[in-house]
Chain A
């Protein structure tokens, strides 16, 4: 029998149903794996072994009584440390929340626990989900390297970000599945760099309640899993209307996993030229072109398309996102929770104003500060129209362009990232070069459309094989079609089954 920690949700669920394994055994296997590998990889900020075993035991008890809650009952999950978990420390990987214990639970995690799954721990991320490498985290989770999360495929490289801990945890078998959030690529880019499946749903598919907000008009939570089939299972669990998030949609949640089918006959795939130009590594391009050939073999037709506005997506994003950040992060005032100049005598805040300025100066990392200030600037008197309003207008054009393209094709296929995972420090000194690494994932967010990253092959760098992800983008509410296309690819290829050899 294979190692229990390598199981997918589907496999674990089947074995649990047959009574061949228990949730406690599965959870113990994961924690044994964590003891081995986690000191190197550093996927987690907080591990919840005791709680996990209690939850697993409760699941096993339910099963004995024939009261199984769902397909994921008893399945161990990793949760990005951006989702509020009642009673379990939640940091957003920032010092400003280093001892914050939420008093309520996010809707995404509530749905996971109501479905019976088990919380393994809270995963590392770029601070407040701001970054593409997990390097902006305030937490050096890799004990052996005294650094932020390492990429399981090459420990000298970053795992991607911002959901880098969740991606590394899934890739290194430190959980069965994970959830992350995606504001400009934060599920898809680390999924690509770690060779896992990551889906950003349509804006409004998943409730944002209790997820620490970065940019509220762009943020979406989604599954990060070992297979497309697992992503479909998780999406079904976490989707749906929530009275605590008015932007969550009332549209019915399909049985994504039940309806999965691999027939690509008659599906028309667009190849957006703009996604194959700007600074794309040759071998990454080759890898994606090969996967497009695979889709032709599967019966899909392909056609080159053009999305000129995609070129402006990153510029739109770096105005709208910081604007929303500056507003959302205003809540960290040093008064109600988090790091505070009130508590810290050394900071000697003499006035209310100084409580704000000193708490925030000490609590926020440089990337959060940059984005807050950029946001304050583009929203400030005299610049609002030139930056913020202008970006909102170009956003309208981008959204319309996608809508028009999807009148002629069913899906778009593109790379996720222009390059494989880069090395620590390679981009962290130059914010703009870090921002540019998101150029291919960002367009889906201002347009609000769903997109998924699936493993599509490997490229060589310094003698190491590094994963390359394929991005499937669809119109709003086309999750089923995207999942079907990913499922078809994973039926025909075995890139998603490759495992890193962690030394």
Chain B
């Protein structure tokens, strides 16, 4: 048990862009480890030479004309849901120092 160490949880949280408290790290390390123990049973299944299925429809790429269509959605409408929106743009903290 406890396959996932606190360090691993921190790494996964970083990949997931999630800030976690110390208690959360401990709790998720236990809970996620028990789920991983459960899914490990797949290793019993012989999948030699079996193709993976990502999508059951069997559809490949679907193409359409690269044509602009009216969506009826304006910048203003989009801005209304944004935390900070100025001059038709989302405002974020600076990326460069």
Q: How far is the CB of A334 from chain B (nearest CB, A)?
A: 7
Within residues 6 to 32 of chain B, which ones have a CB less than 8 A from any CB in chain A?
8-9, 12-13, 15-20, 24, 28, 31-32
- Whether the pair B73, A104 counts as a contact (CB closer than 8 A) is yes
List the A residue with the shortest CB-CB distance to B56: A448
What per-residue 1/0 map shows which CB atoms of B35-48 lie under 8 Å from chain A? 11011111101010
Which of A28-36, A142-150, A393-401, A492-500 binds B? A393-401
CA of A106 to CA of B19, assembled, Å: 32
* A4 sits at the interface (CB 8 A): no
* B92 sits at the interface (CB 8 A): yes
Given A315-B39, A396-B53: A101 and B80 interface contact (C-beta under 8 Å)? yes
- Whether the pair B81, A337 counts as a contact (CB closer than 8 A) is yes
Enumerate chain B residues within 8 angstroms of A446, measured Cβ to Cβ: 53, 56
* A284 sits at the interface (CB 8 A): no
Given A217-B56, A373-B9: A319 and B19 interface contact (C-beta under 8 Å)? no
- Whether the pair B12, A203 counts as a contact (CB closer than 8 A) is no
- Whether the pair B38, A217 counts as a contact (CB closer than 8 A) is no
Given A369-B18, A376-B12: A399 and B35 interface contact (C-beta under 8 Å)? no
Q: How far is the CB of B62 from chain A (nearest CB, A)?
A: 4
For the residues of A in contact with B, the DSSP-based class is helix
- Whether the pair A352, B95 counts as a contact (CB closer than 8 A) is yes
CA of A332 to CA of B9, assembled, Å: 21
- Whether the pair A203, B57 counts as a contact (CB closer than 8 A) is yes
Q: How far is the CB of A352 from chain B (nearest CB, A)?
A: 5
CA of A305 to CA of B76, assembled, Å: 58
- Whether the pair A104, B71 counts as a contact (CB closer than 8 A) is yes
Q: How far is the CB of A216 from chain B (nearest CB, A)?
A: 9
Enumerate chain A residues within 8 angstroms of B20, measured Cβ to Cβ: 361, 369
CA of A104 to CA of B70, assembled, Å: 12
CA of A101 to CA of B79, assembled, Å: 11
A-B contact pairs, 12 of them (CB 8 A): A103-B80, A103-B81, A249-B57, A315-B40, A316-B42, A340-B84, A342-B84, A342-B91, A352-B93, A358-B19, A360-B17, A377-B36
* Chain A residues proximal to chain B, CB less than 8 Å: 100-101, 103-104, 203-204, 217, 243, 246-247, 249, 309, 312, 314-316, 318-319, 326, 330, 333-338, 340, 342-343, 349-358, 360-361, 364, 366, 369-370, 372-377, 380, 387, 389-397, 399, 431-432, 435, 446-448, 476
Given contact pairs A338-B81, A356-B17, A377-B12, enumerate 20 new A-B contacts (beta carbons under 8 Å).
Answer: A217-B54, A309-B45, A312-B41, A315-B38, A333-B17, A336-B82, A342-B84, A350-B93, A354-B93, A358-B19, A369-B20, A372-B16, A373-B9, A373-B28, A390-B42, A390-B43, A396-B51, A396-B53, A431-B31, A432-B38
* Chain B residues proximal to chain A, CB less than 8 Å: 4, 8-9, 12-13, 15-20, 24, 28, 31-32, 34-36, 38-43, 45, 47, 50-57, 59, 62, 64, 71-73, 77-78, 80-84, 90-95
| Nearest 9 CB-CB pairings of A with B | A392-B52, A448-B56, A340-B83, A337-B81, A393-B47, A343-B83, A246-B62, A361-B19, A356-B17
